[in-house]
Chains A and B, each alone.
Chain A
Amino acid sequence: MRAANASLRWVAPLGLDDPVALASVPAETHATTRPGKGLSIRFEHAGKSFGQRQVLAGLDLSIPAGQFVAIVGRSGGGKTTLLRLLTGLDQPSRGRVLIDETPVTGLQSSVRLLFQDARLLPWQRVISNVGIARAFGWREAAQAALADVGLADRANDWPAVLSGGQRQRVALARALVNHPGVLLLDEPFGALDALTRQEMHQLVTQIWQSHGFTTVLITHDVREAVTLADRVLVLRGGRIALDLEIPDARPRLTGNAKLAALEAEILREV
């Protein structure tokens, strides 16, 4: 039953009566006028249920502007649901989700999401993928974002000829192109090999530091969470089981004893 629903759901945006897709359009200008500023996030008793099944219990959580938060937990713990509430793809069943003290009611142009797979359009060249929204002056903005992720020379390639890591970097450039206030990362490094993953960690940290957006990283890799984030949340059974600050300064070296201790503490709660 759920599978059937899912297979039909994507059809909806084609309908002209779809308020979600249309609502996001005027908001575009909002984000571009305030480049590189992080936005605060607040969950007020936000809960989500699908039928009888409660995925998120009433969640209270405040993330200050510019913070790098990692959320870890087992699959089915509500991580993806939390992310979908932040993007506006889903609405909370109870309570509210606020970004920059404004309730989220639809898709937000100030919030950008990096998926687990790169999700590049194979029939568009790299630069057109980055500038997918085709906002005014998109070509220059896309070129600049590509330079940020170190792929300026691949602008006119097809996505098919890129490696997995390069594709994920193009996806990152696409997320950065209109200077989001919030960047959501949905396990974007899970499919990469260890070396590429480390490169991506450095790249994301560096870009986060220079752009100053608020970042929420979803991951099941506790070490990754500890290496990247200011703060790690453990989500278990739809509740926050642990909320831990990572005080260590950057750059963080793997094998650091303090981080290893934090990692062990988090693993106990997962």
Chain B
Amino acid sequence: MTERVRLTSRYLDGLVPWLLPILVVAAWELAARFGVLSARVLPAPSDILVAFWITLKDGSMIHHVAVSARRALYGLVIGGGIGFVLGVLTGALPVAEKLLDTSVQMLRNIPHLAIIPLVILWFGIGEEAKIFLVAIGSLFPIYLNTFHGIRTVDRGLVEMARVYGLSPTALFLRVILPGALPSILVGLRYALGIMWLTLIVSETISASEGIGYMTMNAREFLQTDVVLLGIIVYALLGKLADSATRALEHLALSWHPAYQTRKAVAA
């Protein structure tokens, strides 16, 4: 009897965070149905679902998402890779820091979206332009956090590793890189946020496919439901990327006490 009550209350507890969103969506649906909200301003949630179904069935949704995701991934890998290598160099070698850091800091302070006109002049409106912008955007968070992570590795551990005769390669792979990893992963999460932002802006300005194109095209035809759908897809993709990084953190930082306790609580 009491067991049953406890189960029910736990069930309700899980529902509480969703209460407000459900109410808002319900109110929105009702407002749209009874003509309080014009369909041009804000179409009903059910209309958005219908639009989602239609774009899914004709294959255009999958195509646009695939194109956008590919741009995002290429940009992240190129920009993040360069940021990581630069961060390792400046973090580990004082000479490299002296040579590079000032230049990187100057470039970092240029808002990367400000160079869109220049990028269009260089690359036109092709794929390169968007990948370039995403790469530039995700380079700096990863660079900064890699540099910071390497600099804050426990010096006691590094000294210990030297006394125990680790080669420079082993020292880097087994002591410095794992020590810097928590910080690098924070950089990755920042980079993901900037990656989507950059992609949205660059796809909205000039593209012939991708989610940004899909929403801009829908705007031309006053399809507000498709525009909203695009926004929701962006949100879902962003959430997905963030969850993936969290999973990566749990996998890579399983030694970390913070992740051990969290896992224990979840179990």
Contacts and interface: CB of A to CB of B under 8 A. Distances in A.
Which one of A6, A9, A119 has the greatest number of beta carbons of chain B within 10 Å?
Answer: A119
Contacts of A133: 164-166
23 contacts: A9-B155, A10-B158, A13-B168, A14-B168, A14-B176, A18-B168, A20-B162, A25-B165, A25-B167, A87-B163, A89-B162, A107-B163, A107-B165, A109-B165, A117-B156, A119-B159, A123-B178, A123-B256, A124-B174, A132-B161, A132-B166, A158-B255, A160-B256
Q: Which of A7, A109, A160 has the most CB of B within 10 A?
A: A160
B255 A89 contact: no
B148 to A, nearest CB: 14
Interface string A227-254: 0000000000000000000000000000
Contacts of A89: 159, 162-163
A172 to B, nearest CB: 13
A24 interface: yes
Given A10-B159, A20-B162, 19 more contacts: A10-B158, A14-B168, A14-B176, A16-B168, A89-B159, A109-B165, A112-B164, A113-B163, A115-B156, A119-B154, A119-B159, A121-B174, A121-B178, A122-B256, A123-B181, A124-B255, A134-B170, A158-B255, A161-B260
B160 interface: yes
A113 B159 CA distance: 11
A206 B179 CA distance: 35
B157 interface: yes
A98 to B, nearest CB: 19
A121 B159 contact: no
B248 to A, nearest CB: 15
Interface of A: 6-11, 13-16, 18, 20-22, 24-25, 27-28, 87, 89, 107, 109, 112-113, 115, 117, 119, 121-124, 132-134, 158, 160-161, 174
B93 interface: yes
Which applies to chain A's interface (DSSP): helix, strand, loop or mixed?
Answer: loop
A15 B255 CA distance: 28
A160 B157 contact: no
Contacts, number: 89
A16 B179 CA distance: 20
B15 to A, nearest CB: 36
Interface string B174-202: 11101101000000000000000000000
B171 A13 contact: yes
Contact of A21 (B154, B162, B178, B253): B162
A160 B163 contact: no
Contacts of A123: 178-179, 181, 253, 255-256
Interface in B98-123: none
Contacts of A13: 158, 161-162, 168, 171
Contacts of B92: 11, 14
A121 B162 CA distance: 13
Contacts of A16: 168
Given A11-B94, A14-B92, A22 B160 contact: no
A21 B156 CA distance: 16
Given A14-B172, A115-B156, A119-B156, A174 B164 contact: yes
- Of residues B92, B165, B175, which shows the largest number of chain A Cβ atoms within 10 Å of its Cβ? B165
Contacts of A117: 156
